[in-house]
Structure 1
Amino acid sequence: MNEAFFVQLALSAAAVGVLVAIAAWAKIAKPAGPLDDYKARGLFEYEFPGRKLDAVWVASDGAGALAKSGGLALVICQVGDGFAARQIPWAQAISASFKNGKLCVDLADIAAPRATLSLPSWPPKNLTKDLAA
């Protein structure tokens, strides 16, 4: 084995190392920031295009939101480094368990089995008769 072989081997190993580093850097997850009313409405519009939002409640910690759209509840909850969006019947959202400032909504989905939202109260005090139905 001569010197050229070792130079070629070293340069090939360095090139592979650079490519692996670039691939690892490109896959670094960028965590989604906390939701506010504007971001939550934007996510609802993106995930459920054409749906009219009757009311939106954003979790106080920004980790999720719940919206009423007709007879459905639209739920956004933080899963990993992003958000999952699901729709459930409004009656299921109203009857969800609320304990210690946390609303626990069963989504019955393997990928996102439960949404836990920090809300001051549930059902909301400002829930009008039209929204409750």
Structure 2
Amino acid sequence: MDKAFFLQFAGSMGAVAALVGLAAWARHGRPAPALDEARARALFAEEFPAARIDRLWIARDGKGALARSGAKALVLMQVGDGHAARCTCWAQVSAAMFRNGRLRIELGEVAAPRAELAFDQWPPADLAA
């Protein structure tokens, strides 16, 4: 074993370490920005173009939104670094459990079994059933 072997070995180890570091850094996605009313309406319009939004509530942490569209409820929730939208009936949202400042809506899907949205109170005082 000579000096060239050790130089090549050290260079290879440095390159592997750099690639491992790059792969570890690249796994971290950027967090999704907090929702505001305009962004929530835009996402709902993209997912449900035919829906007319009667009322809209944004979660206090900005990680979700709930909209009423007639007898339907449109749910927007943060998943990873993006958002997922689901449609369910308003009666299911009305019967959802609200505890510790979180509204838990059971969606019954494998991909999205439930949505948990943070609200100060539910139902809101101005909600017309």
TM-score range with shorter-chain normalisation?
A: 0.7 to 0.9
**Structure 2 counterpart of 1:23:** 23
Q: Are 2:45 and 1:59 aligned?
A: no
The more displaced of 112-121 and 9-18 is 112-121
Query: How far apart in 1 are the matches of 2:42 and 2:5?
Result: 57
Q: Deviations over 1:3-54 (max 9, x none)?
A: 2122112112211221221222111122223322122223223333443322
Structure 2: runs of 5+ lacking an equivalent: none
AA of the residue aligned to 2:24: A
Q: Secondary structure at the match of 2:17?
A: helix
Equivalent residues, number: 129
Query: How far apart in 2 are the matches of 1:125 and 1:23?
Result: 49
**Structure 2 counterpart of 1:87:** 87
Q: Normalising by the residue count of structure 1, what TM-score does the alignment of the two structures yield?
A: 0.77
Query: How far apart in 2 are the matches of 1:28 and 1:122?
Result: 34
Q: Deviations over 1:58-87 (max 9, x none)?
A: 112222110123432111223445433222
Q: Normalising by the residue count of structure 2, what TM-score does the alignment of the two structures yield?
A: 0.79
Counterpart contact for 1:37–1:58, Cα < 8 Å:
yes
**Structure 2 counterpart of 1:123:** 123
Counterpart contact for 1:79–1:112, Cα < 8 Å:
no
Query: How far apart in 1 are the matches of 2:10 and 2:45?
Result: 52
Query: How far apart in 2 are the matches of 1:26 and 1:100?
Result: 36
Given the superposition, is the C-alpha separation of residues 16 and 64 from structure 1 closer, same or farther in structure 2, using an over 3 Å criterion? same
**Structure 1 counterpart of 2:109:** 109
State percent identity of aligned pairs: 53
AA of the residue aligned to 1:64: G
Runs of 4+ in 1 over 6 A off after TM superposition: none
Give the drift of 1:111: 3.4
Give the drift of 1:114: 2.0
Given the superposition, is the C-alpha separation of residues 99 and 2 from structure 1 closer, same or farther in structure 2, using an over 3 Å criterion? closer
Structure 1: runs of 5+ lacking an equivalent: none
AA of the residue aligned to 2:94: I
